[in-house]
Structure 1
């Protein structure tokens, strides 16, 4: 039985992992590779699974993190993929708060060790988030540094949001943390995908066990709107977003606009694109000590007031 390669896609919330994964999958398919994907979401529903081609084997792990609470399930899912499909490579997209080395350890369990080979750990890094990381709690700062430290490839993403001087400074910091990893600057996760596919695995050093679910109070909240809402009211809501909410993603429809939008929010920056899909109006919030009741009340009021404006 041939050895199947595993690539681990790491990076903090909103860094661009799914965007990069889409580009990688397109390239792998063009090369005729048999590819499978494991996607891990902290929430109860998956938003990003639509980015995986319909004919590609996909396993989803929801409502937890593959590097701790779901590590046993990850082992089972990989084992099932290996038994059900003739594969060349598996890509694992972790949650934004996963430690890549702990994911790697799970992949090298006795059940899997002789069937798979860890090809690479790829870490996506949001340039703005890195510059402002001191605003985050200490465990999150450590986690992001660990994601950088153990990467074979660091994609310094969103460099269009920072100056050339800042970019140079960040790259120097990254190389001091991880002297053997390759650093590639990027906008919108645009890199030469051959760089990913041809990576050489490096030796792993000691790692510090830092995990946001264990050391912080990282929580998720899922909200579904039953009707389209007012774009103006939604924008006003986003302006009041506390800095303890790190990430929002999902699908949303606005009054008077027929399109469904894929909505992303990270570090105070909202971004939406036409999805071309008819999806439920569902948003997933990820943050520290989320007040579920307050969020629910606020979002329900937005919908209620939107309906009154619509009439």
Structure 2
């Protein structure tokens, strides 16, 4: 069985130190003789940080937009290309500072990539002084920084050398309050124990089981349908689905038609699929009750047989 590519997602607000951490990760992986690729996203038309990537490292760039919105489809295609064009051990995604980490994770769990990638975790690199002074920022910027902390699997409080002991204690309290149980570090120059970033996720599980282990903050889970289901029955179940589900993406079949199904912020969408695709859905959320989800979807399949 083909080994999946380890994926590390680097999130964090603009100028927080993501590229500094990326450079360290590339050195670390080279020392381990691992083949590593990088995908970088810039909001502008010109890449600023791509020059730091060594020439022997496969690189894809997404420019002039954010991978969590206008470039989301391109992200999936570029990830696919990196996997198919290279024999990779590791793939590092450096998202733009305006990206929501869940949207980046969503792209990595595309049905096209499910058998290719294994997400080790979301690493949020936070500009500590900026976070402490966040009240001077816009509401949108503050909310994005909060989301980047809340959904991290590892928090890097960066640029802490000049902070007072009281300010450092505040950072620790914020980490524990906003993302309970998640490891964090107070550091400078994004210096961390790099091996820890590759041990956030464990062994992959079989069908109908979580893709990631309980160590990851955001959980992912896969369900495979045995055949077509009734749309009304499925959407009735969807209306009662727990609010802890952030995203659902995959393929579902109604009668003789397969659809690419996506669910976000409580709204489902369908797009006709011309090719025969595996009928499976990927769920992304927090505190997912896999047993309850599986029971509900099996009930959908059971009830669909009689309609």
TM range, smaller chain: 0.5 to 0.7
2:46 matched to 1:32? Answer: no
The alignment partner of 2:24 has SS state of: helix
The one-character-per-residue Cα deviations of 1:117-166 (angstroms, maximum 9, x if unpaired) are 11110000111111111111111111100000111110000001311210
CA distance in 2 between partners of 1:196 and 1:108 (Å): 19
Instruction: Give every structure 1 segment of 4 or more consecutive aligned residues whose post-TM-superposition deviation is greater than 4 Å.
Output: 205-209
1:184-203 correspondence to structure 2 within 5 Å? 184-200=185-201, 201-203=215-217
CA distance in 1 between partners of 2:245 and 2:156 (Å): 20
CA distance in 2 between partners of 1:147 and 1:128 (Å): 16
CA distance in 1 between partners of 2:100 and 2:116 (Å): 22
The match for 1:204 is: 218
CA distance in 1 between partners of 2:14 and 2:47 (Å): 15
CA distance in 2 between partners of 1:126 and 1:39 (Å): 19
The match for 2:98 is: 97
The match for 1:21 is: 22
The match for 2:277 is: none
The match for 2:149 is: 148
CA distance in 2 between partners of 1:43 and 1:33 (Å): 31
The match for 2:140 is: 139
* Greater Cα shift, 99-108 or 184-193: 184-193
The match for 1:236 is: none
The alignment partner of 2:170 has SS state of: helix
* Gap change, CA 1:12 and 1:207, over 3 Å in 2: farther
CA distance in 2 between partners of 1:39 and 1:112 (Å): 18
TM-score (norm 2): 0.66
The match for 1:55 is: 56
Unaligned runs of 5+ in 1: 210-311
The alignment partner of 1:191 has SS state of: coil
* Greater Cα shift, 199-208 or 57-66: 199-208
* Gap change, CA 1:26 and 1:145, over 3 Å in 2: same
CA distance in 2 between partners of 1:134 and 1:44 (Å): 30
CA distance in 1 between partners of 2:82 and 2:4 (Å): 13
Kept after mapping to 1: 8 A contact 2:152/2:217: no
TM-score (norm 1): 0.65
The alignment partner of 2:26 has SS state of: helix
The alignment partner of 1:159 has SS state of: coil
CA distance in 2 between partners of 1:32 and 1:170 (Å): 36
CA distance in 1 between partners of 2:55 and 2:130 (Å): 32
CA distance in 1 between partners of 2:72 and 2:48 (Å): 21
The match for 2:81 is: 80
Kept after mapping to 2: 8 A contact 1:97/1:143: yes
Kept after mapping to 2: 8 A contact 1:101/1:207: no
2:59 matched to 1:45? Answer: no
Kept after mapping to 1: 8 A contact 2:5/2:116: yes
* Gap change, CA 1:107 and 1:16, over 3 Å in 2: same
Aligned length: 209
The alignment partner of 2:161 has SS state of: helix
- 1:208 positional shift: 8.0
* Gap change, CA 1:100 and 1:167, over 3 Å in 2: same
The alignment partner of 1:5 has SS state of: strand
The match for 1:70 is: 71
Unaligned runs of 5+ in 2: 202-214, 220-243, 248-307
The one-character-per-residue Cα deviations of 1:80-109 (angstroms, maximum 9, x if unpaired) are 011110001100000001001111001101
- 1:70 positional shift: 0.4
Kept after mapping to 1: 8 A contact 2:153/2:217: no
- 1:203 positional shift: 4.0
CA distance in 2 between partners of 1:34 and 1:59 (Å): 15
